[in-house]
């Protein structure tokens, strides 16, 4: 079984309407070019100051995901709404939430980002994602007509144990909608994506944000689709982009058969 997948690269800002117009336009382009699966980046619908996030957060039935469900149904594609700020009742913090829709517009899976980026380097940078976000706690591998899809978000990429759990759950494709910063992205983005693909013998689809953002620094971009052998099948340039690659599950089966590393795993973390 083989099909065409798309990773969409954006530069989302504080204008939600403009961001959603951009996302819709690029999703339509992906479908027109033959993609039956299309993935948007992290926080594709709104990206602003963290103190503004509570006012922009939405429920799973809010306008952003309602639009995504409508587009999935109209375009007849599997659609990954990279992530949105999901409102948590009676709390100022939000979840960073990725939602997968089927070609009938049905919600197939919801993943809430587990790993939050908190760092304090005096005189250099202070980021406390947990001040605005509440971490999720569940790994998610969705059964779909395209095969099992494992869901992760951005900083999760640095935690290989999550991806191994997804492989054990059957994932053949893993999504990583992201907004990697330029310095860490330049050093680690490709290395980590290819490592997660190689060690778990799966396809990795990683749509990303690029360019200057509202926080005063730049995002790395370089959205990628990588195969189970670790080859980069498609990579975005430094602009708004739609990249496409063939996802061949027969080839994945061949890789796993010829190098059966997943059957040789001996150390598993305690449950």
Residue-averaged pLDDT of the chain: 93
Phi, psi of 30 (to 5 degrees): -60, -45
Angle between helices 16-32 and 63-75 (to 10 degrees): 10
Q: Report the pLDDT value the prediction gives residue 20, as an integer from 0 to 100.
A: 98
Q: Report the pLDDT value the prediction gives residue 200, as an integer from 0 to 100.
A: 98
Return d(Cα 244, Cα 46) in angstroms, integer. 24
For the entire predicted model, the pTM comes to: 0.95
Inform me whether the pLDDT recorded for 125 exceeds 60: no
Inform me whether the pLDDT recorded for 96 exceeds 90: yes
Q: Report the pLDDT value the prediction gives residue 9, as an integer from 0 to 100.
A: 98
Q: Report the pLDDT value the prediction gives residue 231, as an integer from 0 to 100.
A: 98
Residues designated as active site? 42, 113, 154
Inform me whether the pLDDT recorded for 116 exceeds 60: yes
Angle between helices 190-200 and 160-168 (to 10 degrees): 30
Tell me how long the chain is: 271
Residue with token string 């796993």 = 256
CATH class of domain segment(s) 2-262? alpha beta
């Amino acid at each position: 079984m083989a099909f065409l997948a798309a990773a969409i690269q954006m530069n989302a800002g504080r204008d939600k309407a403009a961001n959603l117009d951009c996302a819709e336009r690029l999703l339509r382009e992906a479908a027109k070019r033959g993609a039956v699966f299309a993935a948007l980046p992290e926080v594709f619908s709104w990206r602003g100051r963290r103190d503004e996030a509570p006012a922009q957060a939405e429920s799973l039935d809010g306008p952003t995901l309602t639009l995504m469900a409508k587009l999935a149904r109209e375009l007849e594609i599997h659609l990954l709404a990279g992530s949105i700020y999901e409102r948590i009742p009676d709390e100022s913090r939000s979840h960073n939430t990725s939602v997968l829709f089927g070609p009938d517009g049905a919600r197939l899976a919801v993943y809430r980002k587990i790993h939050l980026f908190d760092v304090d380097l005096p005189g250099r940078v202070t980021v406390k994602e947990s001040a605005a976000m509440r971490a999720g706690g569940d790994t998610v591998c969705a059964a779909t007509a395209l095969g099992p899809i494992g869901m992760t978000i951005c900083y999760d990429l640095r935690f290989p144990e999550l991806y191994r759990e997804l492989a054990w759950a059957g994932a053949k494709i893993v999504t990583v909608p992201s907004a990697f910063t330029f310095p860490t992205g330049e050093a680690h983005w490709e290395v980590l994506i290819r490592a997660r693909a190689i060690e778990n013998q799966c396809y990795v689809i990683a749509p990303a944000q690029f360019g200057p953002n509202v926080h005063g620094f730049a995002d790395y971009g370089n959205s990628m689709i990588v195969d189970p052998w670790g080859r980069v099948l498609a990579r975005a340039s430094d602009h708004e982009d739609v990249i496409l690659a063939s996802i061949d599950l027969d080839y994945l089966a061949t890789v796993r058969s010829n190098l059966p590393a997943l059957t040789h795993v001996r150390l598993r973390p305690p449950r």
